[in-house]
Structure 1
Amino acid sequence: MLKGYKAKFDILDSGVTETETWIHVMVDGDYEAAFGITEPFPLYLHFFLQDDKIQLLRLDRIPGGVPTMRAVWAVYANNSRPLSSIRSDVWKVPEVPENWVRVKVAAAALNYHDIFTLRGLGMFGKIKYPIILGNEATGTLEDGTEVVVYPVFGNPDFKGDDTLDPDRHVLGELTQGSLAEYVVVPKRNIVKKPKALTFETASVLGISWLTAYRMLFTRSDLKKGQKMLVQGSSGGVATALIQMGRAAGMTVWCTGRSEEKRALATKLGAHKVFSSGEDLPEKMNAVFDMSGVQTFKHSMESLAPGGTLVCCGMHSGGGFAEVDLMKLFTQGINIHGVYAGNREEFEKLIDFVVEHDIQPHIPVVLPLERAEEGLRMITDGTVQGKVVVRI
């Protein structure tokens, strides 16, 4: 990597310790096509001299004597083989900007958004690599206070619904993420963790569960006892919708691609389950669609007059879904898109989970060093519910 690619090196500093010599350089070159690296990057060359010859040359981004932490990051974008860019190693402990705080991470949940980052798909801006993965976090402040991170960042001067802030983005997208021993976030993104929630439970609420909460309670206009259809039964948003819908008194129907996934939906509280794409015996007051193109038509066909379709993903692929315009306007169908939620909804979500003693479905808890296994489960579709990384 250091040879070729029209590489250029500017020596910034150097030093000698009792055990090694180090040289700090800034590297620039044509690395975007091969590695997704678009900016010049710092590098430290550590080596030992013996008989005036370099021994044990080591390349690192961190100088000797600097506090480090364990972290998992994406070193570049790779759309075809996203997991190939994952690295698990040491990282410099982040400094704390003004009006930000450092959180010692106890647990962080994995999301499909991490796969988007590995593929180079930024939701609200171009991703700069390397970047630590992780969109959700819970942990402790320096004074020991247990907290949950509200993951939607934006312009601190913006007034109104956070989800409409044109500068918004989520943790781990334009800032370093939470798959590390420490993460720094704005003070206004800190929420005190209730004692009733474990770190693992709290860690899943920021993206999937917050998205599900906004879909269900803000956008669907559902009333207690009305019918709702969840397209899918095993993903993080789907399991959250099933559990919260049942707790809120809705009649919850669900689709699933396999008997195993449909059985999980029943276990989590779904009243009826169906195969994917199956014609339903009744029309729904609201349909929640996380898949996108493959399920969108079925979602529209499943709605009763005046019903609402709420979408939050494109797990079955991007592109454009066809809309039955005749049904849209003659039957008064509502269509909404949701991406995470605002701070008020996040606080209400936490209260709702505590009040109803909901235990989010978390079948897999891994140490940080095995985060890649969890991300592979997500890309392969072999996990049901949420994967949590304990740090």
Structure 2
Amino acid sequence: MFAISAARISFDDPLSGLEAGERPDPAPREGWTTVRVRAAALNHHDLWSLRGVALSEDRLPMVLGGDAAGIDEDGNEVIVHGVVREPSEPGRSPRFSLLSEIHDGTLAEKVLVPRANLVPKPPELSFEEAACLPTAWLTAYSMLFGKADLRPGSTVLVQGAGGGVSAALVAMAARVGHRVYVTSRSEEKRARALGLGAHAALPSGERLPEKVDVVFDSVGQATWRHSLHSLKPGGAVVTCGATSGDAPSAELARVFFLQLRVLGSTMGTKEELVALTEMCVRTGLRPVIDRVLPLGDAREAFRALAAGEQFGKIVLVP
């Protein structure tokens, strides 16, 4: 089968390790099934894999990708939940990995996944739309509805318009009635965020016209101070990533004086993916897709992701 793999690791030049070519078809495994991939979406996790984060040299070559929608062995249209429960010793906490960390990922014509990880794809969603849900949109859904503890009509800030998680947060938060502020260095991305329903879009680091209940931050070091200073007393930062680095000043004095909360969020459960899928069907909400490219053009897709050119998701089609 044709696949996109990490063949080498380079933190400073991640795309140098990207390799396109033939790989063996998945070997049958009890409790697992092969999905013929119809669409797969890129995530920053794929770039971090090429940098060696959560992927070690001894596992190379590794097929990249954690998001996919396709057709299972029984002919059903499905969405792949990319969080895999790993075997653990009795009495130990469960261990989890994402596809492409231990098991080959979704940027291929076929992917082997646990049967329990499949979610029915509703006919209302295209394969391309469905492929955007399992990582970025699921992460945003879990942050917004599982971690933030918001009431209808709350005020929120989304740091960094344009990324898959950020676009999903803006779209969903606006749809359920929150007042949404968003930041970006790009005037074009700020305008597109307004089109998704944001109340206002400001340049990165600019002071907001009001304090907010919750800040959603996937940027990290570059936005952390602004996130803390944008909160009301008792407010919360919900963080799911650190694309600009993860060593900012913690500003602990501000955190404890204002009784702020810092909440971490990673991915989401299969049950949340089912609920997210149903939400999209019932409301008409759809993932924002920046571009759809053939799987063979993966290098261009990775280049655009690394450069931050996209607004929403980049989708690859075998």
TM-score, L = length of structure 1: 0.78
Tell me how far 1:157 sits from its aligned partner.
7.5
1:104 to 36, 60, 64: 36
Where do 1:143-292 residues align within 5 Å?
Answer: 143-155=74-86, 166-292=94-220
Aligned to 1:23: none
Q: List per-residue Cα deviations over 1:182-217 (Å, max 9, x = no partner).
A: 000011101111111110010011111111111111
The unaligned stretches of length 5 or more in structure 1 are 1-68
Task: Supply the distance in 2 between the matched residues of 1:296 and 1:314 (Cα, whole angstroms).
Answer: 10
Task: Supply the distance in 1 between the matched residues of 2:140 and 2:117 (Cα, whole angstroms).
Answer: 19
Matched, 1:311 2:243: no
Where do 1:21-36 residues align within 5 Å?
Answer: none
* Cα distance, 1:222–1:177 mapped onto 2, change above 3 Å: same
Tell me how far 1:86 sits from its aligned partner.
1.1
Check whether the contact 1:312–1:337 (CA below 8 A) recurs between aligned residues.
yes
Tell me how far 1:324 sits from its aligned partner.
2.3
Check whether the contact 1:155–1:165 (CA below 8 A) recurs between aligned residues.
no
Matched, 1:378 2:292: no
Task: Supply the distance in 2 between the matched residues of 1:313 and 1:131 (Cα, whole angstroms).
Answer: 23
Check whether the contact 1:78–1:119 (CA below 8 A) recurs between aligned residues.
yes
* Cα distance, 1:220–1:295 mapped onto 2, change above 3 Å: same
Matched, 1:332 2:259: yes
Matched, 1:81 2:13: yes
Check whether the contact 2:38–2:71 (CA below 8 A) recurs between aligned residues.
yes
SS at match of 2:222: helix
TM-score, L = length of structure 2: 0.96
Tell me how far 1:156 sits from its aligned partner.
6.4
Q: How many residues align?
A: 317
Task: Supply the distance in 1 between the matched residues of 2:130 and 2:220 (Cα, whole angstroms).
Answer: 28
Q: List per-residue Cα deviations over 1:31-65 (Å, max 9, x = no partner).
A: xxxxxxxxxxxxxxxxxxxxxxxxxxxxxxxxxxx
* Cα distance, 1:358–1:127 mapped onto 2, change above 3 Å: farther
Aligned to 1:364: 291
Check whether the contact 2:88–2:94 (CA below 8 A) recurs between aligned residues.
no
Task: Supply the distance in 1 between the matched residues of 2:28 and 2:81 (Cα, whole angstroms).
Answer: 17
Aligned to 1:43: none
The unaligned stretches of length 5 or more in structure 2 are none
2:23 to 85, 91, 96: 91
Q: Which has the larger radius of gyration?
A: 1
Matched, 1:130 2:61: yes
